[in-house]
Amino acid sequence: MPQKRRKRWKPERVPDSERGNITKPCNTCKKEFTLLEFNKGNALHGYKPECKSCQVKRGREYKRRPEIKERENAYSRKRWAAKPEEERRAIYESRKEYFIKYQRWWHKHTETGRKWKAYANMRSKLSRYSIAVSSVLALEEYNKVTFKKEKFSCEYCEKEIKGSYHLEHIIPVAKDGSGELENLAISCPTCNLRKGTKDLDVFAPDKVSYFKNRKV
């Protein structure tokens, strides 16, 4: 005679109305929580031995492993490549607004996003005025060596710049000033806005000799 399959033992689950009154320790973090902090399972009182936060943490650590990431990415690429071109385009169009909103949120609320946004803004400004990145780096190095301060200093008022500096054109762009290294200066926002389109001998006559003898 075929043997009867034995029923799997299941613990008696505590009713949902009493979950807030009973506590039990988490096997991972060893802290005591009420049963509201545990998912349903086959352990004591009918709930899992690990609290919800520990489960989430363990899941994230698992997904961060390089081999798991590579496996998931390969599977996603394979599925995406198998879709027809029309379907892929339709999916992209349906999620376009979401992608744009997420990108804006990422640039605003994450440290990496803010760095990328600042870098992109800098590159766009440099390309607009035909300024090479190497010129900016040389100017930054010269500024730190000359003024001998931890942060950058304004080349007009010689005060230390607390936030981000402005890249200022000695001969204004409005008066055909170039984006060459010799025509650029690190300035604080106040001096840059005060100078505007004024010539150097009008805005800061005492700095004419400094910029003339400057060797960047």
Q: What is the pLDDT of residue 15?
A: 81
pLDDT surpasses 90 at 82: yes
Confidence tier at 2 by pLDDT (50, 70, 90): low
Q: What is the pLDDT of residue 1?
A: 52
Q: Three-class SS string for the chain?
A: CCCCCCCCCCCCCCCHHHHHHCEEECCCCCCEEEHHHEEECCCHHHEEEEEHHHHHHHHHHHHHCHHHHHHHHHHHHHHHHHCCHHHHHHHHHHHHHHHHHHHHHHHHHCHHHHHHHHHHHHHHHHHHCCCCHHHHHHHHHHHHHHHCCCCCECCCCCCECCCCCEEEECCCHHHCCCCCHHHEEEECHHHHHHHCCCCHHHHCHHHHHHHHHCCC
Q: What is the pLDDT of residue 78?
A: 93
pLDDT surpasses 90 at 61: yes
Domains in the chain, start-ordered, CATH in brackets?
A: 18-63 (3.30.60), 83-128 (no CATH), 130-213 (1.10.30)
Distance, in Å, from the CA atom of 68 to the CA atom of 74, rounded to the nearest integer, reads 10
Confidence tier at 59 by pLDDT (50, 70, 90): very high
10-49 pLDDT, tens digit each: 667 778 888 888 888 999 999 999 988 998 887 777 888 8
Confidence tier at 105 by pLDDT (50, 70, 90): very high
More confident residue, 50 or 178: 50
138-176 pLDDT, tens digit each: 888 888 888 888 788 899 998 888 888 888 888 888 888
pLDDT surpasses 90 at 70: yes
pLDDT surpasses 80 at 79: yes
Q: φ and ψ at 41, to 5 degrees?
A: -165, -160
pTM higher than 0.75: no
Q: What is the pLDDT of residue 56?
A: 93
Q: What is the pLDDT of residue 213?
A: 87
